[in-house]
Amino acid sequence: MFFRSLLFAILFTTPIAMHSRAGSGGKSLSRWHIPRGHYSGITPLGGMRYAIVSDKEPQAGFFVWEIEQDPSTGVIRHVQSTGFRGTDYPYVRDAEGICFCPWREGILISGEADQRILEHRSDGSLTHQELPIPQSCDTAHIRPNRGFEALACDTLRRLVWTCTESPLLEDTTATLRLLCFDSRLRLLHQYRYPLEAEQARNHGRDHYHGVVALATQADGSLLVLEREARIARRYSGSRCWHRLFSFRPQTGEKRQIQAWKTRFNVFDTRFANYEGMCLGRPLPDGRQTLLLVSDSQGGYGRGPWRLKDRLRLLVLPAPAP
């Protein structure tokens, strides 16, 4: 009877505790005393410094972390938060994506509450500049809570990239609008990005499918993180898929690099919904590391069964000679 009661408590008070089948998964940020949060985006600032957004902060701004990686393997050694930098704002922006533009010394942050992408200074204050989102992609055309989330900066070419998480309301095919802005934050190009087919057999209690993060590569192609999550009606059997692709907007060439899946497990709370991604340090053999941050929804759950904020390391294949 005790076991049945315990099982019921876990299933219905911690509905999305899942188990990763992709190796060890990410490292819990609690080991470095990083406070629980709603971390949804990450961008490199130079050296070991990174800016991170949390989508439930009352102020508009970002955290700054120092992330130390092993120079030979890329393994994450230590993470330290140096605090929050931001400014008062009339509402919670639901900040999702972030990227640093070094030629402007500005940090762009996308918000799903207003579907705007605003620029901050390094101290967190606003520059009162923003990306000019075309009318065809504005709030009236975006599905609720499926707007601008992915955001990346190509520092070599001085470009900024973004797209909505899911197709626009009028789009009948599973394609996204990928927007490219120039060094002065002017709209330069629009491309179509094809989403992979859904893997869930049905949508269950809730279902999310789309692009949650972007990063740029030295050859001008994009790294695209697609996330699909299906929450079962009774929670048991819920699953989450992450797939990482290389994509060339000019040609439409798309290639899968890595994929991993998490699923519900009553006795395992290692589920991590990775929403933020950026380049980490390069390795001596030329391979590039990626850092991914998860959103635990503020440590959602009850008692010992809580989601954890995690930082995951991926190592990309060596570039072709």
DSSP string, 234-293: TSTT-EEEEEEEEEETTTTEEEEEEEEEEEE-TT------EEEEEEEEEPTTS-EEEEEE
Quick one: pLDDT at residue 321?
Answer: 67
Quick one: pLDDT at residue 207?
Answer: 74
Is 321 within the bounds of a domain?
A: no
Is 277 within the bounds of a domain?
A: yes
Is 199 within the bounds of a domain?
A: yes
Instruction: Give the residue from 130, 123, 166, 119 showing the smallest Cα distance to 145.
Output: 166
Quick one: pLDDT at residue 2?
Answer: 26
CB 18 within 8 A of CB 238: yes
Is 75 within the bounds of a domain?
A: yes
Quick one: pLDDT at residue 133?
Answer: 95
Is 320 within the bounds of a domain?
A: no
Distance CA 193, CA 174 (A): 9
How many domains does one find in the chain?
1
Phi, psi angle pair for 280, to nearest 5° = -100, -155
Q: Is 280 helix (H, G, I), strand (E, B) or coil?
A: strand
Q: What CATH number is given to the structural domain containing 184?
A: 2.115.10
267: left (phi over 0), alpha (psi -120 to 50) or beta: alpha
CB 159 within 8 A of CB 130: no
Q: Which alpha helices (DSSP H) does the chain contain, by range?
A: 2-13
Quick one: pLDDT at residue 4?
Answer: 34
Q: Which residues contact 150 (CB under 8 A, 6 or more apart)?
A: 97, 110, 161, 162, 163, 165, 211, 212, 213, 214, 224, 225
Domain that holds residue 277: 2-315
Quick one: pLDDT at residue 146?
Answer: 87
Lookup result for tokens 């859904």: 198
Is 15 within the bounds of a domain?
A: yes
210: left (phi over 0), alpha (psi -120 to 50) or beta: left
Quick one: pLDDT at residue 36?
Answer: 92
Residue pLDDT tens, the chain, 321 long: 322 333 333 333 333 333 333 334 689 999 999 999 999 999 999 999 999 999 999 999 999 999 999 999 999 999 999 999 999 999 999 999 999 999 999 999 999 999 999 999 999 999 999 999 999 998 899 988 888 999 999 999 999 999 999 999 998 779 999 999 999 999 999 999 999 998 767 766 777 899 999 999 999 999 999 998 877 666 666 677 899 999 999 999 999 999 998 776 566 566 778 999 999 999 999 999 999 999 888 877 666 667 789 999 999 998 776
Instruction: Give the residue from 74, 71, 75 showing the smallest Cα distance to 27.
Output: 75
Is 58 within the bounds of a domain?
A: yes
Quick one: pLDDT at residue 120?
Answer: 98
Distance CA 34, CA 305 (A): 18
Is 244 within the bounds of a domain?
A: yes
Q: How many helices (H) and strands (E) does the chain have?
A: 1, 23
